[in-house]
Amino acid sequence: MKRLSIIIFVFGVISFASCHYEKPGFYEGRDYIQFYYSGNLLHKDSNEVKTSPVNYPYISSTRLRDTAWFRLKAVGTPSSRERQVRFEQYTNEADKNYIEAVPGVNYVAFDDPEIQKYMVIPADSVHMNIPVVILYDTGTRGSVALNFKLVSTDDFELGMPTLLKGRCMYSNY
């Protein structure tokens, strides 16, 4: 019986000594930026993800400007300083029935100082709502489409290819 107790004790000590706790590793790659993905924004019959503004802008001759907010997500290690993001307009060939937005006429240009101060991810943050300010133009009549995409900066690489494009469509009557 004494021998069995010694064997069980030795087996227990060996089992206990062989256990160790592994800590998860930390992300060590470059930081990247993409639009925040919401599960209901997937196109039917496609793997392409669409972005949706936090609110839907409305302009008219009595409301000359409005703002649509797009949520961005920084992936990587949070930084103790502000990090710059950039949008760039592009042409979507599928929008032939829409008027293509003109910077300074149908929306405040992305490089305008009014917007540039908002084009940052704040220090110690990984999410941010970025404004897209649309403008009423008396010379434009119809449905307007503003297609834009994220552009890499010194602070961020680009994230998932399906989460890099934003779109804002509105009526200008």
Q: What is the rounded average pLDDT of the residues 148-167?
A: 92
Q: What pLDDT shows up at residue 19?
A: 64
Q: Is the pLDDT of residue 138 over 80?
A: yes
Q: What pLDDT shows up at residue 118?
A: 94
Contact 106, 89 (CB under 8 A): no
Q: What pLDDT shows up at residue 53?
A: 75
* Average pLDDT taken over every residue of the chain: 85
Kindly report the pTM of this predicted structure.
0.77
Distance of CA 60 to the CA centre of its chain: 29
Q: Is the pLDDT of residue 4 over 90?
A: no
DSSP element (H, E) containing 104 = none
Question: How far is residue 53 from each of residues 56, 73, 104, 146, 147, measured CA to CA in Å?
Answer: 6, 14, 20, 12, 12
Question: What is the per-residue pLDDT across 79-124, written as a single tens digit (0 to 9) for each?
Answer: 899 999 999 999 988 888 999 999 999 999 999 999 999 999 999 9
Q: What is the rounded average pLDDT of the residues 157-161?
A: 91
pLDDT band at 44, cuts 50/70/90? Answer: very low
Local structure of residue 112 (DSSP, 8 states): S
Using CA atoms, how far apart are residues 125 and 82, in angstroms rounded to an integer?
A: 9
Using CA atoms, how far apart are residues 157 and 34, in angstroms rounded to an integer?
A: 9
Report the percent of the chain where pLDDT is more than 70: 82
pLDDT band at 17, cuts 50/70/90? Answer: low
Q: Which class for 70: exposed (0-12), middle (13-18), buried (19 or more C-beta within 10 A)?
A: buried
